[in-house]
């Protein structure tokens, strides 16, 4: 399915206001489109990762990234132990990789890496060859808040490529179409 995201559409009118809770916040956040990345960490057989839409640049001076990882995720202790992570920004052709790292079909740990080519850069975190872009980071700080760890990483290597980014909106993958 192709998701057409456009600017200038008629804005949605608000419905009924609800108290903020886990369900209402989740429903509200599903309305916001986000780029899809796979956060990878670890070495050898101690590798894992997760599909996220929560990766973003914290600053460009110095180059710093921020990701939010659930503390119950298998990725969280691996990032803490190895002190590194890579934000692998996926292209529309890499949806199967997003599905694997989201755990579809019960795939876990190192099994998520099968079916793609990987390398490492300065930090030692796994980097997806052919990713639309990859930002290799060393952990600077982890702030634990509620269910998640807010992980701040200093970018130590960056790779960029060509293509169109994979987008996630309202529970579905798609791609962005610029209005012409």
State the DSSP string of 33-93: -EE-EEEEEEETTEEEEEEES--EEEEETTEEEEEEEETTSTHHHHHHHHTEEEEEEPBGG
Which 3 state secondary structure label does DSSP give 95? Answer: helix
Q: Is pLDDT larger for residue 38 or for residue 17?
A: 38
Residue 180 inside a domain? The answer is no
pLDDT recorded at residue 13: 55
> Could you tell me what percentage of the chain is helix, strand and coil, using 3-state DSSP and rounding each to the nearest 5?
20, 45, 40
Confidence of residue 15 (pLDDT cuts 50, 70, 90): low
Range of the structural domain that residue 93 is part of: 34-175
Q: The domain spanning residue 150 has which CATH number?
A: 2.30.110.10
DSSP-derived letter for residue 13 is P
Q: What are the C-alpha distances in Å from 52 to residues 10, 11, 19, 46?
A: 28, 26, 26, 20
Q: What is the mean pLDDT of the chain?
A: 90
What percent of the chain is predicted at pLDDT more than 90?
Answer: 76
- Short-list 60, 62, 40, CA closest to 134: 40
Q: Tell me whether residue 20 is in a domain.
A: no
Task: Round to whole Å and give the CA distance between 79 and 81.
Answer: 6
pLDDT, tens digit, 9 for 90 and up, residues 64-106: 999 999 999 999 999 999 999 999 999 999 999 999 999 999 9
Strand, helix or coil for residue 155: strand
pLDDT classification of 58: cutoffs 50, 70, 90: very high
pLDDT of residue 11: 54
Number of domains in the chain: 1
Domain membership flag for residue 5: no
Question: Angle at Cα 89 formed by Cα 8 and Cα 114, nearest 5°?
Answer: 135
Total-model pTM: 0.88
Of residues 114 and 13, more confidently modeled: 114
**Under 8 Å between Cβ of 85 and 153:** yes
Domain-located, residue 111: yes
pLDDT at 138: 98
For residue 164, the model assigns a pLDDT of 93
Q: Is residue 11 part of a domain?
A: no
DSSP state of 10: P
């Amino acid at each position: 399915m192709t998701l057409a995201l456009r600017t200038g559409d008629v804005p949605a009118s608000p419905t009924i206001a609800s108290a903020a809770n886990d369900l209402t916040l989740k429903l509200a956040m599903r309305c916001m489109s986000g780029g899809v990345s796979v956060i990878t960490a670890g070495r050898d057989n101690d590798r894992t990762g997760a599909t996220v839409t929560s990766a973003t640049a914290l600053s460009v001076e110095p180059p710093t990234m921020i990701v939010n990882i659930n503390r119950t995720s298998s990725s969280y202790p691996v990032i803490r132990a190895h002190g590194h992570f890579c934000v692998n920004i996926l292209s529309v052709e890499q949806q199967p990789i997003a599905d694997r790292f989201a755990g579809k079909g019960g795939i876990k740990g190192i099994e998520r890496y099968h079916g793609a080519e990987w390398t490492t850069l300065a930090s030692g975190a796994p980097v997806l060859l052919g990713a639309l872009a990859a930002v290799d980071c060393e952990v600077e700080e982890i702030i634990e808040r509620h269910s998640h760890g807010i992980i701040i990483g200093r970018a130590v290597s960056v790779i960029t490529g060509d293509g169109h980014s994979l987008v996630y909106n309202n529970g579905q993958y798609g791609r962005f179409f610029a209005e012409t």
